[in-house]
Structure 1
Amino acid sequence: MDELVVSTEVYADPEEVYAFLLDFPRYANYSEYLSEVRTITGDGGPGTRYALRFAWWKISYTANSKVTGVEPPERIDWEITKDIDAGGCWRVTPPETDDGDGETGDGNSTDDAPCEVALEVEFDPSSASPDALDLPRLVSFDWVLKKAIPLIKGEAERVVERAVQDLEGSTRDVDLDVYVDSNRI
Structure 2
Amino acid sequence: MDELVVRTTVYADPHEVYEFLLDFPRYVHYTEYLRDVRTTAGDGGPGTRYALTFAWWKLTYTAHSEVTDVEPPERIDWQITKDIDAGGCWRVTPSEESCVVALEVEFDPDSASADALDLPRLVSFDWVLKKAIPLIRTEAERVVQRAVRDLEGSTRDVDLEVYVDSERI
Please give the TM-score of this superposition, normalised by the length of structure 2: 0.99
Q: What is the Cα deviation at residue 160 of structure 1? A: 0.3
Q: What is the Cα deviation at residue 45 of structure 1? A: 0.1
- In structure 2, the partner of 1:56 is 56
- In structure 1, the partner of 2:160 is 176
Matches of 1:80 and 1:91, distance apart in 2: 18
- In structure 1, the partner of 2:110 is 126
- In structure 1, the partner of 2:4 is 4
Q: Residue 79 of structure 1 aligns to a residue in which SS? A: strand
Larger radius of gyration, structure 1 or 2? 1
Matches of 1:119 and 1:78, distance apart in 2: 11
What residue identity is the alignment partner of 1:116?
Answer: V
Matches of 1:79 and 1:7, distance apart in 2: 19
Within a 5 Å distance, the mapping from 1:24-103 to structure 2 comes to: 24-95=24-95
Matches of 2:141 and 2:36, distance apart in 1: 18
Unaligned runs of 5+ residues in structure 1 are: 96-109
- In structure 1, the partner of 2:128 is 144
Q: What is the Cα deviation at residue 49 of structure 1? A: 0.1
Runs of 4+ displaced beyond 4 Å: none
Q: Residue 46 of structure 1 aligns to a residue in which SS? A: coil
Q: What is the Cα deviation at residue 175 of structure 1? A: 0.4
Q: What is the Cα deviation at residue 114 of structure 1? A: 1.6
Please give the TM-score of this superposition, normalised by the length of structure 1: 0.91
Unaligned runs of 5+ residues in structure 2 are: none
- In structure 2, the partner of 1:155 is 139
Matches of 1:50 and 1:154, distance apart in 2: 22
Matches of 2:26 and 2:16, distance apart in 1: 14
- In structure 1, the partner of 2:13 is 13
- In structure 2, the partner of 1:98 is none
Q: How many residues align?
A: 169
Instruction: After superposition, give the CA deviation of every residue in 1:44-103 in whole Å (9 maximum; x if it has no partner).
Output: 0000000000000000000000000000000000000000000000000000xxxxxxxx
Identical pairs, percent: 82
